[in-house]
Structure 1
């Protein structure tokens, strides 16, 4: 096997670890709450502290990869995430656990954009890159399948700390594999850090993420939330002003001259808006309405995730036959249609009613993998880190916005229905499914227009490289 495919295995394993950590913990939250005596707010911050730091620092992680080399930053991210996982698993208080989760977010912010940057460098040929991204994406789908089931098993049979401690041997093994397989052979780019750009972008994203996470609980018109939105807007304007004058801007605006990059990033954001909230609310629906246990609810997602992972690996062949735009549009159509069909299942529904539409949803999800490859196509090594960071930030921010908006719609619909609690929840859930399905269908024309290959893309310039052979 070529060494670069082993390197892809290391990159994929690192990504799998971060995704598994995010999926495995939710099932164990009630156990953690009882053991550490946490309030509901404290419990929420176990999840929110990770998301806040992760989303807020992803652009920073991408820039660091472009300046210092993707290999170095990937290994640093692994070290931070592994050490923080050990601290989280051994935490004896809610404060210690929340702090460790925030540090995990730092590690993930270094790992995620760097992983895609490494794939871009390892596989410069578009066809091979598409297959590599398919393998990488399949790891995310596999984590969706294994995460809830693993979390359920650990919470029922072991100490909850093992949901974080399992990352330690994975992190050590991944680091050893990456040190051997990922060659330090790519030239670094001679670029400054753009500290004003780093500071203003991180401030804007941290403030916006905080407002979206806490807005419902604190009140959208409360002083802290309005202040956070105001800070996000001010920092965003400052970032734009800084970047317009910077000799070496953090985000080169030439990226957005690429129709594929801009349209693909927008399509990815719309997709995240439509589906992030559905995962969260569907778990509640399975348990509170259809009567599944937490472990059964986790297991219900396994066939969908496995199909998604299988199709992800094969999606490059589909896109080669249909074109990326048509493939992504088909994936959006399948996911949207599946969501619409799920909205018709009542309180007496069974898993046999749910399974066909979960499988259709998984099939559509696997076909969306070429979207990531399309966004990264044409990105030179010196831009791939920030390009990956922009893509991932759009997904996280749009996804949080989707959870916020769909959650508000569900709450309002529940209140307006006036029925019994379960009936009111079902009515609100079904209404949000219709909205989410419509959002996904709205992304189809965007994908068809921006991801077609009928005209040449303007080139994205490669920054000046440092001396050849500089270690990454």
Structure 2
């Protein structure tokens, strides 16, 4: 590691956090705007799902490739290209003439986002070589996601109400410009990229697996689980999974290192990431439906109701990062599972006349659990790996997060076609995930030590 990396860790962290703020806030503002988008285009529920799900699906398909590209071509360069693509596609989303165009531009946003996140995590890791400082930095990075969730719904609701839903995409452009300038001027060049060959066969298998799975889950409620296109889609996913295992065992430098899945902390982190983010994706998709459609709230009021979730996440994330550095992975994972499960319990009794304070209390519990789970996931994903492979390793954890988001949004499509009672299965699923996080967190951290040791 060069001296230039060691001398400016705060600058690196701030610049990377600005990019995360850009991406994370985009997800929350889009969710608040969904009812307005539906009203203008007359969109179906599945079209709205694709508007949201196009991003995590494409990002999940490309994150590991982007991590490998960052290792190959340099993190700073890939990071800046991702910023530019994300900003330009945000501008295009704001002028989309129809749902098809909007979904396509959202997918293009994901191409840029997939290039930013693994590069940003690797830049942060390289700038913080000491394990305890690294854990704290990752905690701060996670707190920015909470800040975005706090600001996003309010800003998105206000823009949708005062200007229109298109403005929720335009707001990304000035933030992108600031982040791009900061990355170009302030980020050090660091080490040269590692010229490892790209695993295109593995990438195609990942695309077949994830695209087939999410497509089938979203279309099944409308077309029927026994329809030909759903069965073909799920069949493609199964073939993609089988082919991925075969291909990655034969490639010298695979896209997905199957040996990582022999490490219990890594397996637990991936499973927990998928479960926790599936709950988050489902909740962020259901909240606007419950508040704006079933209860008639304005976009601004609906955005304000979701702020406690984000604030608790923002507070819990850096505390969890410090706890991981001091006590290891297990305490944070166990606390996160309990909080997420309690949030699901509190949501069970939700009705159209439920006091807002009770809903906000449930969201606070879930938000605290979500904020707590991020730091141990990121730390476990990169622990014990060579530093030059951290971008690729971080991309695996980021992929698990995006897969979870995509699956959560896909699976809740069946419940948004009914009244508030139809939401109950979703809350039971949140409880089940909370229990699973506790069990996986205990199993996957046997023998783990604090990061500072």
Please report the TM-score for the alignment, with normalisation by the length of structure 1: 0.86
Say if 2:157 is the partner of 1:152. yes
Q: CA deviation at 1:309?
A: 0.4
Which residue, 425, 428, 435 being the options, matches 1:434? 428
1:178 counterpart residue number: 183
Taking the TM superposition and a 5 Å limit, the aligned residue runs for 1:171-250 are: 171-250=176-255
1:87 counterpart residue number: 92
CA contact (8 A) 2:57 2:402 kept: no
Say if 2:392 is the partner of 1:386. yes
CA contact (8 A) 1:290 1:350 kept: no
Say if 2:21 is the partner of 1:16. yes
Q: How far apart, CA to CA, are the structure 2 residues paired with 1:329 and 1:229? A: 33
Q: What is the CA RMSD across the aligned residues, in angstroms?
A: 2.6
Q: CA deviation at 1:437?
A: 0.7
2:261 counterpart residue number: 256
Q: CA deviation at 1:209?
A: 2.5
1:323 counterpart residue number: 328
Which residue, 44, 52, 63 being the options, matches 1:58? 63
Q: How far apart, CA to CA, are the structure 1 residues paired with 2:58 and 2:120? A: 18
CA contact (8 A) 1:66 1:381 kept: no
Taking the TM superposition and a 5 Å limit, the aligned residue runs for 1:339-358 are: 339-358=344-363
Query: How many residues are aligned here?
Result: 445
Please report the TM-score for the alignment, with normalisation by the length of structure 2: 0.89
Q: CA deviation at 1:454?
A: 4.4
CA contact (8 A) 1:272 1:395 kept: yes
* CA deviations over 1:158-188 (Å, ceiling 9, x no partner): 1432211111111111111112222111242
**Residue segments in structure 1 that go unaligned for 5+ positions in a row:** 415-420, 458-472
CA contact (8 A) 2:339 2:365 kept: yes
Shift in CA distance, 87/399, structure 1 to aligned 2, threshold 3 Å: closer
Q: CA deviation at 1:44?
A: 4.4
Q: How far apart, CA to CA, are the structure 2 residues paired with 1:77 and 1:197? A: 22
Shift in CA distance, 216/111, structure 1 to aligned 2, threshold 3 Å: farther
Q: How far apart, CA to CA, are the structure 1 residues paired with 2:295 and 2:46? A: 27
Taking the TM superposition and a 5 Å limit, the aligned residue runs for 1:298-309 are: 298-309=303-314
Taking the TM superposition and a 5 Å limit, the aligned residue runs for 1:283-302 are: 283-302=288-307
Counterpart of 2:54 in 1: which secondary structure?
A: helix
Shift in CA distance, 288/201, structure 1 to aligned 2, threshold 3 Å: closer
CA contact (8 A) 2:124 2:137 kept: yes
The structure number with the bigger radius of gyration is 1
Q: CA deviation at 1:35?
A: 4.3
1:27 counterpart residue number: 32
1:448 counterpart residue number: 442
Q: How far apart, CA to CA, are the structure 2 residues paired with 1:26 and 1:67? A: 35
1:281 counterpart residue number: 286
Shift in CA distance, 24/240, structure 1 to aligned 2, threshold 3 Å: same
Say if 2:41 is the partner of 1:47. no
Q: CA deviation at 1:78?
A: 0.7
Which range moves more in the overlay, 135-144 or 374-383? 374-383
Q: CA deviation at 1:293?
A: 3.1
1:338 counterpart residue number: 343
Say if 2:95 is the partner of 1:101. no
Q: How far apart, CA to CA, are the structure 2 residues paired with 1:75 and 1:348? A: 48
* CA deviations over 1:398-431 (Å, ceiling 9, x no partner): 34334444554x48xx9xxxxxx6xxx3333234
Shift in CA distance, 36/352, structure 1 to aligned 2, threshold 3 Å: closer
**Residue segments in structure 2 that go unaligned for 5+ positions in a row:** 1-5
Q: How far apart, CA to CA, are the structure 1 residues paired with 2:129 and 2:225? A: 46
Which range moves more in the overlay, 8-17 or 213-222? 213-222
Q: How far apart, CA to CA, are the structure 2 residues paired with 1:273 and 1:28? A: 20
Q: How far apart, CA to CA, are the structure 2 residues paired with 1:395 and 1:238? A: 22
Q: How far apart, CA to CA, are the structure 2 residues paired with 1:399 and 1:38? A: 21
Q: CA deviation at 1:107?
A: 0.9
Shift in CA distance, 3/300, structure 1 to aligned 2, threshold 3 Å: same
Q: How far apart, CA to CA, are the structure 2 residues paired with 1:370 and 1:52? A: 23
2:368 counterpart residue number: 363
Q: How far apart, CA to CA, are the structure 2 residues paired with 1:126 and 1:318? A: 12
1:468 counterpart residue number: none
